[in-house]
Structure 1
Amino acid sequence: MSTSPSLTSTTPALNLDKLADKYKHGRNRIMFFDYDGTLTPIRSRPDDAIPSDEMIDHLKKLCEDRDNTLWVISGRDEAFLEHYLGHIPNLGLSAEHGCFIRDPGSPNWVNLAEQIDMVEWKAQVTKVFQQYTDITPGSFIESKKCALTWHYRQADEKLGPANAEECRRQLEKEILPKFDVHVLVGKMNLEVRPSALNKGEIVKNLLSKHSQVDFIFCAGDDQTDEDMFRSLRNAKQVDQDATFSCLVGSNKSETLADYFVSSPADIVNVLSVMNKAAPK
C-alpha cells in the first residue's frame, strides 16, 4: 500500500558519487529537466535566459547515448524551446507546463490541450492581470497558447510581491470558481493554465511508456516542478534508490524532491558527471 508523498523541509545535498554509480550501471535511463532556474539562471528579462554552450554540449552528449531518454519540461512556449533546444537530436520537449509535447526525434508538436476551451477564461484573466499591470510599473503580461503569465521581476521589490499576492487572491475568488484552471505561483510571476495539464501528468505519461526504468534524474526549481517530484514518488515501475529528484535552490525549502543543489551551475555539473560516468 503506497503512502502519500510528504514534504521535506530540510533536504540533503545531491550525492554525486552515488549518482555517478547508479548512472554507470543503468541501462534504461530517463531524465527530466525544467528550464528556467534549472538549466539556466533566472533572468530579470525572460528573453535573456539563453542556454550556455557548455550546457548544450552536455545535453547533446547525453542524448547520443541510446540508453538515455531526455526531456526538457518547461513553462516556456514551444517556439522558445524549438529555437534554443530543438536542434539537439533525440531531445524530448514539453512546453507550457505540459500543454504541448514534441517527442524525441520528431519535428512535430502535439497540442494536448486541443479540446480545452481557452477563450473565455483567458479573456477574464487578462482583465485581472491588466489591472495589476497598470498599478505595478515594470510588470507585464505574457500570453501563451494555453496559459497567461503575469511577470513582475522588473517591478519594485516590495510592490511587485505585494500586488502579486493581491492578484492571486482576486484570481482565486473570481476566476477559479467559474473555470477549471489553476493559479501557479512561480518565481516572480503568476500563471493561470488549465488544471488538467501539468508537468507531473507529463512525467507520469512518459514513465508509463517504459516497463522498467533503472535510473531517473529529475530537476526543477519552483512549485510547478513539485508535480514532477510527486509523480516520481508515486511511480510503481521506478527503483527509488536509483531515482534522483533534485530541487535547485535552498535546502530549507519545502519540497517533494529527495535532494538539492544550489544553482543551475550545479545542474550543468551534474550533466558533466553523468557524461563522465558513462560506461566506456
Structure 2
Amino acid sequence: MGGHRPELLIERQWAMLEQKARESERRSFFLDYDGTLAPFQTDPAKADPTAEVLLILERLCHNPANQVVIVSGRDAMTLDRWFGTLRLTKVAEHGAFISRFGEAWQALPGIDLSWKERVRSLMEDAVALYPLSSVEEKERCLVWHYRRVTGKSVDKTAHHLLQQIARAIPQTVEVMAGKKIVEVKPAFINKGTALRMLALEFCADFVITVGDDKTDEAMFEVSPGFTIKVGPGATAARYRISGTRAVLQILKRLAGIPPLAGMALWNGQVDSHTDK
C-alpha cells in the first residue's frame, strides 16, 4: 500500500475534476459503501442507505454514459436488499461476488474454505471475552466486529486475535485489521481485481474511485482515474477528503443535483488530517 501524502481535494481542484467529468463520454464510479457513502454505525446491521444516498445513486445510474459500481465488503444479500432496484453493478465480499444489473451473482470458482471452522472458533473466543462484539459470517469471509466495545484492552485483544489467526491459516488466506474489525478472506480476492475487470469492460474515459479503508487501497493502486481517500491514514490515493458528507456533495454535483442554498461543497468540513 502506498504511503505518500495525498492532496487535499479543495474546491479549486474539484472544479478541475468536475470539468473533466463533463467533457468525458463515458464515466465509471467505483464507490465503497461503509465509511464512504454512509458513516459507520455501532451496529453494522443498522447502516441502511438513506433516501439521499439512494437519490444520488439513482440520478447517476439514470445517465447511460455512467457506470456505477458499489464495491463493498458486505454480503450479496445485503447489497441486493439495498440496491437491487438500481441500474448499477454490485461487488460483494471485496470481490468474491459480482452482479451486473439484471444478472445473477457470479462467484469466483475454486475457493478453499476449510480454514473457516478454525477461524470461527478463534473469533467466538473473542466474543466470549467481549459480549458486545460479534462474528459476521459471509460465504467467503469471516469478520469479528468490536465497534460497540469500549476500553483499550479490546485493541490488544484484536491484535492478539490477528496474530492467532495468522498462525492458523494457510498462505492462500489473509487476515487484516480494519476499522474496529478483524477480517479473514481468501488472499487473491480483493476490490482491485474487481475494479480492473469492470473498468476494462466499460472503457470509461473518466474514472473516479472513492473509499476509506485498507481494503480500498487495492482499488486505489489499480484505478486508471482519480482516486479519493475518505478520512485519515496512509494511502495510495491521489486525493483526500474529510468524510461521507463531502463524498455525497461531490457525487451530487456529478449527478446534477443542485446543492441546498448557501451550502458549500464541503458543507463546512475542513480536512486537516495528516497521514498516520
Query: TM-score by structure 1 length?
Result: 0.87
Q: Which runs of 5+ in 1 are unaligned?
A: 233-237
| Partner Cα distance (2:168, 2:25) in 1 | 50
- Over residues 22-43 of structure 1, what are the superposed CA-to-partner deviations in whole Å (9 max), with x where a residue is unaligned? 1110111111000100010000
Give me the whole-angstrom Cα distance separating, in 1, the residues matched to 2:210 and 2:110: 30
Please tell me whether the aligned partners of residues 175 and 185 of structure 2 are also in contact (alpha carbons under 8 angstroms).
yes
Distance in 1 of aligned mates of 2:107 and 2:112: 13
What CA deviation, in whole Å up to 9, does each residue of 1:45-96 have, x standing for no partner? 00111111111111111111111101000000011111111111x2100101
Determine which of 239, 245, 268 is the counterpart of 1:259.
239
8 Å contact kept, 1:35–1:74: yes
Q: Deviations over 1:133-179 (max 9, x none)?
A: 1112311101110100000001123122111011111111222xx35
Could you tell me which residue of structure 2 aligns to residue 44 of structure 1?
Answer: 42
Q: Specify which of 3, 10, 31 is matched with residue 7 of structure 1.
A: 3
Q: Is the aligned partner of 1:95 residue 2:86?
A: no
Rounded to whole Å, the distance in 2 between the matches of 1:7 and 1:79 is 34
Residues 257, 147 of structure 1: alpha-carbon distance in 2 compared, 3 angstrom cutoff = same
Q: Is the 8 A contact 1:28 1:67 kept in 2?
A: yes
Q: How does 1:1-280 map to 2 (within 5 A)?
A: 6-14=2-10, 15-88=13-86, 90-103=87-100, 105-112=101-108, 114-118=109-113, 120-175=114-169, 178-210=170-202, 212-232=203-223, 238=224, 243-250=225-232, 253-276=233-256
| 3-state DSSP of counterpart to 2:256 | helix
What RMSD over aligned residues (CA atoms) do the two structures have, in Å?
1.7
TM-score normalised according to structure 2 size = 0.88
* Higher RCO (CA < 8 A, seq sep 6+): 1
Pick closer, same or farther for the CA change 1:133–1:229 going to 2, 3 Å.
same
Q: Percent identity?
A: 32
- Alpha carbons of structure 1 residues 277 and 152: separation in structure 2 relative to 1, 3 Å: closer
Alpha-carbon distance between aligned partners in 2 of 1:149 and 1:257, rounded to the nearest angstrom: 25
Q: Which segments of structure 1 move beyond 6 Å, counting only runs of 4 or more? A: none
CA distance in 1, matches of 2:106, 2:42: 30
Q: Distance in 2 between matches of 1:157 and 1:102?
A: 40
CA distance in 1 between partners of 2:198 and 2:6 (Å) = 29
